[in-house]
Amino acid sequence: TVGVTGAFANDDIMKNQKDPANWALQLGNYAGQRYSTLDQITRDNVKNLRPVWQFSTGVLRGHEGGPIVVGDTMYISTPFPNTVYALDLNDNGRIKWKYEPRQDSSVIPVMCCDTVTRGVAVAGNKLFLGQADNTLVALDTETGKVLWSAKNGDASKGETLTAAPLVVKDKVYVGISGGEFGVRGHLTAYDINSGKMVWRAFSTGPDKDVMIDPQKTMMLGKPIGEPDLGIKTWPADQWKIGGGTTWGWYTYDPELNLIYYGTGNPGTWNPAQRAVDKDRAKSDNKWSMTIFARDADTGQAKWVFQKTPFDEWDYDGVNENILADVTIGGAKRKALINFDRNGFAYTIDRTNGELLVAQKYDPSVNWASEIDMKTGRPKVNDKYSTFAQGEDHNTTGVCPAALGSKDQQPASYSPESGLLYVPTNHICMDYEPFKVEYSAGQPYVGATLSMYPAPDSHGGMGNFIAWDPSAGKIVWSKPERFAVWSGALSTKGGVGFYGTLEGYLKAFDLKDGKDLYNFKTSSGIIGNVNTYMHKGKQYIAVLSGVGGWAGIGLAAGLTGEQEGLGAVGAHKALGEYTQLGGTLTVFALPDNQ
């Protein structure tokens, strides 16, 4: 790749993402579609796929994200200590350079959901890595040398960094984690050349901090109007420790010049502590659980959409916002599709935030009956309201579990089929909130959870589904034994891919989901399946390495049913199928095919 000397790195990214030989961004392209026009691997020949080379990262625990490929080089990163490798595709992954940050391991205990990172960003001659310890580094893509580094947070307050950065023009956007530690979330833009902070948009607090203009920033098709909802929808100063972290995925529309991302759960998990006058109606806890569309340059909010006002279930609203043009009621809409943790899939007009479709993408979802299309609000079922049921009461049978109907695992959208291919969870929970006091750097959770497979279903804890974003309907659904925690890929060859927690890489027919190929890799897959072309041949690449929140029991050696914020019990059988690992596997067809 040719170094970019001017200010605009995304000329380079735009070029790279157009050439399907590359896998230029974590989500495949700025639209977050995880789709490739490569078509050498087809529904007919994919059965002959096989690993062609592998690379152990030298690190165990959860490997999220996936390989970035630009030209002859592949870039991968590992869980803590966040080692980055540049691998030579001309020599079976020989190491061109290795960057191994020296990070204080004291950050590990404040990472809520395993020591994951969701990968690096490459733009021109720079590679960007968000380290667990909140250091954002820019590395030279040729040498791995540090060009600059910036401190984006403070681990002693429970702040960490797991999200993949996104580069647009001369800025790199970085999120923050720590919703379970009372961290006040923000998205921050740094200058890619100097490493200087350009702006920081908080998720809670006064409009100025949130970079909202109540007269201009849209909500449901019109200006918000009322100022400082980021303060008023919270009791007293609760917004200062109110979460809304930004540890998910970021997408970008170059024409609209808007970036999209979501904010996480409000803190604490005990809703009573976040209620204004004990009144749910007054307590949206804005702007937690909100999709933000921001001007990519100024950071100013163009529109907002809060999916789960006053969260009572830890349904972080951070999942990827996939940009696609979708026909709804006969009209082509510039849409954004979001599979929220809360179990509803939203199709939204990405120009202005207007809600177009909102339907359950898992039939077991029961905490709300539907989304009111006028207000965008869920109709909450009091039986599953942990606020209505009250503190120190165990609300049982809530679906989905806190892991959501989908968590960090990104979906894929095929512009050909117009469908989304979605790795989902099929897990329910019991949730008992309790009063908790805030102390900086200490867990600020305030609920005890148990999780288990969705009752009266197939017994498994996952489904892999195809979704129609216009109709808001499941097209087909494949049951899986465990939560599907790996990002999906769809390709022009008519074949899609995802990984399973047992470690299988699976290829399926986009038409009907039929299994076309599977291979049991060394460890559970929570990474995202990517594809690229090298010397005229198509490859599939994925990281294995079980972990993440679903695999936290294995990753952190926890065995108590309610440990790992409640996730351990449900997935305890995982240890019969797989163990910790950390390996990249590259697949291809035999040469004669």
- Hey, which residues between 553 and 592 contact a copy of itself (CB under 8 A)? 575-585, 590
Query: What radius of gyration, in Å, describes the C-alpha atoms of the chain?
Result: 22
CA distance 364 to 426: 8
How many Cα atoms sit within 13 Å of 588 on the Cβ side?
A: 17
Query: Residue 164 binds which one of ligand PQQ, a copy of itself, none, with CB within 5 to 8 A depending on kind?
Result: none
Choose between 282 and 520: whose C-beta lies nearer to a copy of itself. Answer: 520
Least gap, CB of 549 to ligand PQQ (angstroms): 4
Query: Residue 7 binds which one of ligand PQQ, a copy of itself, none, with CB within 5 to 8 A depending on kind?
Result: none
Least gap, CB of 82 to ligand PQQ (angstroms): 13
Q: DSSP secondary structure string, 306-351?
A: ESSSS-SS-------EEEEEEEETTEEEEEEEEE-TTSEEEEEETT
Least gap, CB of 105 to a copy of itself (angstroms): 15
What is the contact mask toward a copy of itself in residues 68 to 107, using x (rule: CB under 8 A)?
A: -----------------x------xxxx--x---------
Q: CB-based contacts of 339: which residues, under 8 Å, 6+ apart?
A: 319, 345, 361, 405, 406, 411, 420, 422, 424, 467
Query: Residue 245 binds which one of a copy of itself, ligand PQQ, none, with CB within 5 to 8 A depending on kind?
Result: ligand PQQ
Q: Which of 133, 284, 311, 314 is catalytic?
A: 314
What is the contact mask toward a copy of itself in residues 453 to 472, using x (rule: CB under 8 A)?
A: --------------------
CA distance 540 to 244: 35
The answer to whether 58 contacts a copy of itself (rule: CB under 8 A) is: yes
The partner residues of 339 in beta bridges, in order of sequence, read 345
Query: Residue 64 binds which one of a copy of itself, ligand PQQ, none, with CB within 5 to 8 A depending on kind?
Result: ligand PQQ
Active site residue 314: yes
Which among 586, 585, 584, 582 has a CA at the least distance from the CA of 58? 582
Least gap, CB of 246 to ligand PQQ (angstroms): 8
Which among 196, 194, 158 has a CA at the least distance from the CA of 176? 158
Choose between 522 and 528: whose C-beta lies nearer to ligand PQQ. Answer: 528
**CB 39: neighbour CB atoms within 10 A?**
13
Q: DSSP letter at 110?
A: G
Decide: residue 455, CB within 10 A, 0-12 exposed, 13-18 middle, 19+ buried: exposed
| From 217, 395, 463, 544, residue interacting with a copy of itself (rule: CB under 8 A) | 544
Least gap, CB of 589 to ligand PQQ (angstroms): 32
Number of H helices, E strands in the chain: 5, 40
Query: Residue 327 binds which one of ligand PQQ, a copy of itself, none, with CB within 5 to 8 A depending on kind?
Result: none
Query: Residue 60 binds which one of a copy of itself, ligand PQQ, none, with CB within 5 to 8 A depending on kind?
Result: a copy of itself
Least gap, CB of 53 to a copy of itself (angstroms): 4
The partner residues of 260 in beta bridges, in order of sequence, read 251, 293
Query: Residue 364 binds which one of ligand PQQ, a copy of itself, none, with CB within 5 to 8 A depending on kind?
Result: none
β-pairing verdict for 35-36 and 489-491? parallel
The answer to whether 54 contacts a copy of itself (rule: CB under 8 A) is: yes
CA distance 530 to 49: 14
What is the contact mask toward a copy of itself in residues 508 to 537, using x (rule: CB under 8 A)?
A: -----------xxxxx--------------
- Cβ–Cβ under 8 Å, residues 200 and 214: no
CA distance 15 to 267: 41
Interface positions with ligand PQQ (CB under 6 A): 64, 112-114, 116, 162, 177-180, 245, 247, 264-265, 316, 403, 407-408, 548-549
- Cβ–Cβ under 8 Å, residues 340 and 290: no
Least gap, CB of 434 to a copy of itself (angstroms): 34
Residues with a known catalytic role: 314
Give the residues lining the site for a copy of itself (CB under 8 A): 48, 50-58, 60, 85, 92-95, 98, 503, 519-523, 544-545, 575-585, 590
